[in-house]
Structure 1
């Protein structure tokens, strides 16, 4: 740092979560970057000072799995509302999925429509996924050139029957797509559930009038996840394609992926807060607000996932924020309700509250799952995912001593349903900073200035 230029901001007296430890440090910020880290920085050397005494300062979350539904389905969500919820939840960068917008991001022109919808309408930084779907293999290279972070494919039906909607891959598209994506050096993210298994089980349940939440869970068993994981790993071994498995719901799934990595495969795995804090027994109480696929599992499975978190066997935790209008959750039976959890705002509080406050898992490990791991996997690690000199000043201040009960009125996303409403949060996001500018604080809410930028 040259000369005596005044710092823009010092955040002082916080407990700062570094890669390998937590330390009482002050953070000096200039032009959106962290330029000083040390004890007792001179408050007079900054234009503004924030006292973070009693708060824990972490890198902002990087949520690589959100559906903000634009263009085309802004009535479901949208960049303004979705990114406001993410900012309020301590997320400073997100990666928007190629569905459920219309058109889905499977061509460059669709990507340009999405970027136009996001321009100057996001509270935090964003990147985009491209899609791998049948009939569009020839689009992959152009999407790569246009700046997507990777590609997403479904191995089971995405659930939207619309003519323009995203489609699951057949085996040919999966294999050929992996060859192309491997050549581009990109990562393929996969929703891994076996369509032949889940569709036949679902049909059988409907035919016999078994339409309860428990029947829905039984129609999407762990073996369907494992079959798809193992098939994708086999294809990736043949093609050399880098893989990322989204929202894995079972310890056996995590273990299959861990063993593949030990064999030398380039593969990562995420789970989501809902698999760590909710179980299938919550479905009767919470209804379709807690419906997702893969479905919530039983208590034993949840505990095994926490064991995998503590052992360092997971690479990241993402929200899979998948919103919809309330009416789509109000169906005559559980199978017909839209599957997707609106959780953008709650990830940091759930993971830190349940993982650290209640279970004692170290903050650096949890920070890696929320920030460092995603940054590393998707090429953002030169500027994001860690608190160190030279990085973007993307920060979340968390109060580990504050508990509260989440109410619908707290939520910023468009349709105020969430399975976490009425749940106790065991910590609270106090403030979120993007490039050193406060985009949220617990007193004043989300800032009106939308300064999130596209990260290529």
Structure 2
């Protein structure tokens, strides 16, 4: 082993695809070469990093992050978003094609994104493309340029430069994508159902919740399943909130429909019953629902109906959250949680009897498989040496001012969470420790691997 490039990370608690155990993890030139017995002999001169009883997890993969750069960098940016991700144990993020200007809907726009990000990212970063009216001919070139799939909306996205697809346009996009093996990732809420729901402005969270009923998700997902079944298309459902859609999803999967599903930390850890009126930092679409709904989401994670957990970090400036009025109808919809996903999910997972191996499967292996990142998501030989070091029993109270993302507002403010990220490693090099980045940006820009 070359002592310059090689090291061993040692812990009594290493989370591997086979479960948690004491182990030594050998790293050479940024990749894992072996996972050996704890306290195994180490070649002379090789650095040993002994983590004691802190847990060594595979670096998290967050495939749903709105970085908003360029164009809305006052909302977020590549430097701040990836610093927050690194501080939270995330080593790879995949950037959504909106709310940046320009959106990632052509190869020229993808080039702008990559030029903006280059040299500024603390984690590895990949890119989703967008499917919008009029860009059908751009989908294959974007695919060939290395985007990981294509996002669309079935109803207004919230920004004018990224319009929704009408039903015939969804089918046309899916037909095009299926022709070259592409995947459509969908904000699945039915516009007609929402249009028929009561739409009231004001401070009452109950009114906002009623404006985005579960039936909107259920109806949209049912239609997408039918398209996927008929066309043989691959569809991913973004940020599932409605538990009443789970039987549809489970049935479709059991018959072989090419369908995957994600949910988010806020749906797993926050409930409608606890959202104060006027607390617009809790607004997101689809919305945070009731505790019974949350219980069903957890069960679906446990049985595999839901494939992964990702942040849907969708930040904005504080003024856009309408904190002065507390009007949910006027506020930007999005939860800022990039740095907090791991402790938030672990806090609730352990209360419900789940393990850190479960969390790693949901937040690392699952998103890596979704995006098609074969070197990410596990502590095993041949994978990138990406790690999160977690003290699972330490607790902290969330102070928005101490978070690394750009605007200090989050629905988790004041909550006590378990699980402190002590360090984050990217390809065998430490990039964050104790809530802050430890050096200049060293992340890479990723392109999708094609067969």
Task: Report the TM-score when normalising by structure 1.
Answer: 0.94
Note the residue ranges of structure 2 that are not aligned, 5 or more in a row.
none
Q: How big is the shift at 1:10?
A: 1.3
Instruction: Confirm or deny that 1:5 pairs with 2:13.
Output: no
Whether the 8 Å contact between 1:248 and 1:254 is mirrored in structure 2 is no
Name the SS of the counterpart of 1:205 in structure 2: coil
Whether the 8 Å contact between 2:96 and 2:129 is mirrored in structure 1 is yes
1:449 is matched with 440
Q: Write out per-residue CA displacement over residues 89-142 of structure 1, whole angstroms, 9 at most, x where no aligned residue.
A: 110001000000011101111110000111011100011000011111111011
The 5 Å alignment of 1:51-450 reads 51-160=50-159, 162=160, 165-201=161-197, 204-206=198-200, 212-284=204-276, 287-330=279-322, 332=325, 333-355=327-349, 357-381=350-374, 383-442=375-434, 445-450=436-441
Partners of 2:135 and 2:418 in 1: CA distance:
45
Q: How big is the shift at 1:47?
A: 4.0
Q: How big is the shift at 1:211?
A: 5.6
Distance 1:285 1:55, change over 3 A: farther
Q: How big is the shift at 1:46?
A: 4.9
Partners of 1:450 and 1:14 in 2: CA distance:
30
Partners of 1:229 and 1:92 in 2: CA distance:
31
Q: Write out per-residue CA displacement over residues 177-212 of structure 1, whole angstroms, 9 at most, x where no aligned residue.
A: 0001111212110110011221342xx433xx6662
Distance 1:380 1:46, change over 3 A: farther
Name the SS of the counterpart of 1:400 in structure 2: strand
Whether the 8 Å contact between 2:205 and 2:277 is mirrored in structure 1 is no
Mean Cα deviation higher: 285-294 or 25-34: 285-294
Partners of 2:439 and 2:415 in 1: CA distance:
28
Name the SS of the counterpart of 2:365 in structure 1: helix
Q: State the Cα RMSD in Å.
A: 1.5
Number of equivalenced pairs: 443
Task: Report the TM-score when normalising by structure 2.
Answer: 0.95
Partners of 2:150 and 2:205 in 1: CA distance:
31
Whether the 8 Å contact between 1:69 and 1:100 is mirrored in structure 2 is yes
2:17 is matched with 19
Q: How big is the shift at 1:455?
A: 1.3
Distance 1:268 1:145, change over 3 A: same
Distance 1:410 1:238, change over 3 A: same
